Amino acid sequence: MDFIDYRKGAEKKSTNQNEEIVRKSAGRLRGRMRRDYIEEIIQEAQSKGEFDNLPGAGKPLNLDEEYELAGEKAMAYHLLKENNAAPAEIELIKEIRALRKKAEAKITPVIHRGKTLRNRRIAPFASERAAYNEWVERATVEYEKDLREINKRILTLNISVPPAMQQSFLDVDRLLAEFRAACPQL
């Protein structure tokens, strides 16, 4: 009596079926892009309902794990996120905004004081005028220095980022002229 291994016969059969499927698929692929072929396979699977019972179906994606898709930068993105930091370019943009707000905050009290002195019923005393004029001169020099520092940071940013993220330089002369117009000498 001969021993027949039925497993080998089944393997041959499944191998033949797989070869047929590959041959049929290869016929579909001729003259088409692979992407189209892959999309067609996905659409066929969707129509058969093969994606209906996947774990997490209907739930929002967990985007906390998106750094895994970043390839060689994955570890860097992960470290930045874990430490509540951002890439250097984004940090520089934030720093430029903060410096701009700080510079504007420095001149706001000077402008307010000038309006107060000009709008009160009694004319300012000579000592008040002298103190205010000196304050305006110091604020002007400091404001100009701050604006030029911001322009240096903007230049540093523009060198390191793509054109879509670049910022325009501050027009220092125009901003100083506006400040002087808002704070005329008393």
Domain count, the chain: 2
Within a domain: 158: yes
List the chain residues with pLDDT less than 50.
none
The answer on 171 and 93 residing in a single domain is yes
Is 107 part of a structural domain of the chain? Answer: yes
Domain membership flag for residue 73: no
Q: Say yes or no: 176 and 95 in one domain.
A: yes
Pure H helices in 120-171: 126-160
Same domain, 100 and 145: yes
| pLDDT of res. 144 | 97
Q: Is residue 151 domain-resident?
A: yes
Which residues have CB under 8 Å from 54's CB, separation 6+? none
- Do 95 and 177 lie in one domain? The reply is yes
State residue 106's pLDDT score.
Answer: 96
The span from the CA of 149 to the CA of 151, in Å, is 5
Residue 65 lies in a domain: no
Q: Which residues span the domain enclosing 42?
A: 7-52
Q: 137-183, pLDDT tens digit by residue?
A: 999 999 999 999 999 999 999 999 888 889 999 999 999 999 999 99
Q: Is the pTM of this model over 0.75?
A: no
Give the per-residue pLDDT at 18.
59
